[in-house]
Amino acid sequence: MTILTQTDRLIIRTWVPEQDAEQAFQIYGDHEVTRFLITKVDSVESSRNLLQRWVRSFSF
pLDDT in tens, 32-54: 999 999 988 999 999 999 999 99
| DSSP assignment of 1-60 | --EEEE-SS-EEE---HHHHHHHHHHHHT-HHHHTT-S----SHHHHHHHHHHHHHH---
- pTM higher than 0.95: no
How far is Cα 15 from Cα 24, in angstroms, rounded to an integer? Answer: 9
* Residue with the larger pLDDT of the pair 48 and 58: 48
pLDDT in tens, 15-38: 999 999 999 999 999 999 999 999
Decide: 28 and 50 in contact? Cβ < 8 Å.
yes
